[in-house]
Amino acid sequence: MNAPLPQIVAVGRALPPHFADQETLIAAFAEHWQRHHFNLERLADLHRATRVGGRHLALPVGEYAALDSFAKSNAAFQRVGAELGEAAVADGLRRAGLKPGDVDHLFFVTVTGVSTPSLDARLVNRLGLPTRVKRTPIFGLGCMAGAAGVARASDVLRAFPGEVAVMLSVELCSLTLQRQDASVANIIATGLFGDGAAAAVLIGGERPARRAPRVLATRSVFYPDTEWVMGWEVVDSGFKVVLSAQVPQVVEEHVGADVDAFLSEHGLSRARIQHWIAHTGGPRVLDAFRAALDLPREAIARSFRSLQAVGNLSSASVLFVLGDLLDSGEAREGDLGLLAAMGPGFSSELVLLAW
């Protein structure tokens, strides 16, 4: 007998209240980096090429200058991250019609700050989660952690189909800013990444069914010897971005075959997928994803809109796109969707959904 399938019944989201449009941020960075003799015209071009209209920030723009050590930046991550994480989980539970006491598993992913106990422990207290809740903090998967966390949570609910899991992502990318790094990779990162939190709420297959996507299957793909493509270099001042210009090339070379192999195992092809839920890695990465799968631009228009509105929120990005799809009500019974994200490793995470 097939195990009952878990469902993603809601995605809660939270953004910090401090918003800056891209031109405001360009001006702020130009004022700082002119002392490093960086080509300010090049700075503006790189930021505008991200197609990000603006971003929500953990702190007001004027407060970042005081973060002159990793300790200060990380303290801000712990404080603001707990606030946003609490808001995202509360929003997700409200949308799902569940209470904090219903939560059996709490998965937590991030790549932009550290703490022990991890942030999810603080949320047990703040949200009033049951003391029996099973916590699984995951660090280091970067942008793909939203998809990977959903996959791991669904794995657990296959084993415990009567239970509820929350998968929380908190990413405060602005707090990782390296002010002395005028490299092209860092300039691009300062124009692309934003701050936010998202919480996917999943229920096991033995709970009453909802009009929500079921997780049919998941797939992880690791690309050997590609650790240099993306990640952090840990330096005295915190997390220094590693971001190769070859990321879009790696995506375009691999994703098509990976998706086809995954779908074929379930008797499916690309033509059967109605909803493509792609991580907002940036315009070049999204274009590479689309090219690899021979998709029309409108197939991932939702991802482009999210990128323009809030930037790349690392692991939270793909959950924001999924949440927007769920809110729209566009998916119909019988539709299939593929949630996809890529990140450090270099790796891909794929989640097959069915309505």
Phi, psi of 294 (to 5 degrees): 55, 50
Question: Of the residues 174, 203, 232, which one is the last residue of a structural domain?
Answer: 203
Whether residue 351 contacts residue 339, with contact meaning beta carbons closer than 8 Å, is answered with yes
- Which amino acid, residue 47? H
Say how far residue 186 (Cα) sits from the centre of its chain: 19
Q: Are 113 and 236 in the same domain? A: no
Question: Of the residues 151, 170, 203, which one is the last residue of a structural domain?
Answer: 203
Domain assignment present for 19:
yes
Domain of residue 21, CATH code: 3.40.47.10
pLDDT at 181: 80
Q: Are 301 and 231 in the same domain? A: yes
Q: Are 101 and 190 in the same domain? A: yes
Q: Name the residue among 249, 232, 245 with its Cα closest to residue 49.
A: 245
pLDDT at 1: 47
Task: Write out the two tokens for 265.
Answer: 């195992």
Domain assignment present for 242:
yes
Domain assignment present for 209:
no
Q: Are 181 and 50 in the same domain? A: yes
Q: For residue 336, what are the domain limits?
A: 214-354
Q: Are 184 and 236 in the same domain? A: no
Domain assignment present for 305:
yes
Say how far residue 299 (Cα) sits from the centre of its chain: 19
Determine the Cα–Cα distance for residues 210 and 228; give it in Å rounded to an integer: 42
pLDDT tens digits for 176-209? 988 878 788 888 888 889 999 999 999 999 999 8
The DSSP H or E segment spanning 150 is helix 145-159
Whether residue 111 contacts residue 140, with contact meaning beta carbons closer than 8 Å, is answered with yes
Determine the Cα–Cα distance for residues 221 and 45; give it in Å rounded to an integer: 34
Domain assignment present for 349:
yes
- Structurally, how many domains does the chain consist of? 2
Q: Are 182 and 229 in the same domain? A: no
Question: Of the residues 203, 227, 259, which one is the last residue of a structural domain?
Answer: 203
Determine the Cα–Cα distance for residues 10 and 69; give it in Å rounded to an integer: 37
Q: Are 55 and 83 in the same domain? A: yes
Whether residue 318 contacts residue 340, with contact meaning beta carbons closer than 8 Å, is answered with yes
- Which amino acid, residue 139? F
Alpha-carbon distances, residue 238 vs 193, 207, 232 (angstroms): 16, 43, 9
Q: Are 230 and 338 in the same domain? A: yes
Q: Are 192 and 226 in the same domain? A: no
pLDDT tens digits for 313-324? 999 999 999 999
- Contacts for 93-98 with beta carbons within 8 Å, 24 or more apart? 93/10, 93/12, 93/166, 93/199, 93/201, 94/12, 95/9, 95/10, 95/11, 95/12, 95/201, 96/9, 96/10, 96/201, 96/203, 98/164, 98/201
Q: Are 196 and 223 in the same domain? A: no
DSSP state of 205: T
Exposure string for 48-81, b = 16+ CB within 10 A, e = fewer: eebbbebbbbbbeeeebeebeebeebbebbbebb
Catalytic residue positions, numbered: 143
What is the maximum alpha-carbon separation in the chain? 67
CA angle 338, 342, 343 (to 5 degrees): 155
Q: Are 170 and 290 in the same domain? A: no
Domain assignment present for 2:
no
Determine the Cα–Cα distance for residues 239 and 231; give it in Å rounded to an integer: 9
pLDDT tens digits for 132-191? 999 999 999 999 999 999 999 999 999 999 999 999 999 999 999 888 787 888 888 888
Whether residue 215 contacts residue 8, with contact meaning beta carbons closer than 8 Å, is answered with yes
Domain assignment present for 1:
no
Determine the Cα–Cα distance for residues 87 and 105; give it in Å rounded to an integer: 18
Domain assignment present for 341:
yes
- Residues of the chain falling short of pLDDT 70: 1-2, 35-39
Strand partners, 232: 241
Q: Are 69 and 192 in the same domain? A: yes
Q: Name the residue among 194, 200, 222 with its Cα closest to residue 212.
A: 200
